[in-house]
Amino acid sequence: MLLSATQETKTDLLKDLGLNEEQPFYSLDKLADADSRYLRDLRVNLKTAIAGETLSPKEAYLLALAAAANEENVTLISAFEEKAKENGATEAETAEAIACASLLATNNILYRFRHFAHKDIYEQLPARVKMNIMGNPVLSKEFFELVSLAVSAINGCERCVAAHEASVLKLGATEQRIFDAIRVAAVVTGLSKIVN
């Protein structure tokens, strides 16, 4: 049976992710069945984000893993963890990317609340959230902060984005590297709506 160009793109996207082509994915299948040109855009967006100029493949896949964990997308968590390992990530590094997403989800809620509430009392109360992982990460301090920035951007915490961006720059990252990380986070967040 001859596949349409859109069906071929769906198959290629699943191969890119190392996912079973026979597994049903409701949203992805719906787009393929409707011959949606968006599938090609999605595949190209993922490929170009992962191939960012300033990120190694290992870093790009660890960022993708953190974004997938933030989105609670088990399918993509598994796929990006495998891709990160194929590119040299250790078990400890993949675990830390997932842990970072969890910690930042916590912090993003607390700091967004403080920002939105506009009350001094909330600024003065201790957060009482353990963050030992940030002090001595398995990932480099710069990369941990970069992942923290990307997850904060996904979660829309303005205060966290500003703090982590300043920290990443202080640790030697460039604006291009930051933007490459944010692109990975953005594309994976969009992908998680289609492949789930």
Looking from the CA of 177 toward its CB, the CA atoms found within 13 Å total 17
The token pair that represents 144 in the structure block: 């941990």
Of residues 33, 107, 40, 111, the one with CA closest to residue 70: 107
Q: Is 100 marked active-site?
A: no
Q: Which residues are CB-neighbours of 75 under 8 A, at least 6 positions away?
A: 19, 25, 195, 196
| Catalytic pick among 32, 65, 157, 194 | 157
Q: Is 160 marked active-site?
A: yes
The token pair that represents 43 in the structure block: 């595949």
Helix, strand, coil percentages (3-state) for the chain, rounded to 5, are: 70, 0, 30
Instruction: Give the DSSP H/E element, type plus range, for residue 163.
Output: helix 158-170
| Catalytic pick among 31, 64, 139, 160 | 160
Q: Which residues are catalytic?
A: 157, 160
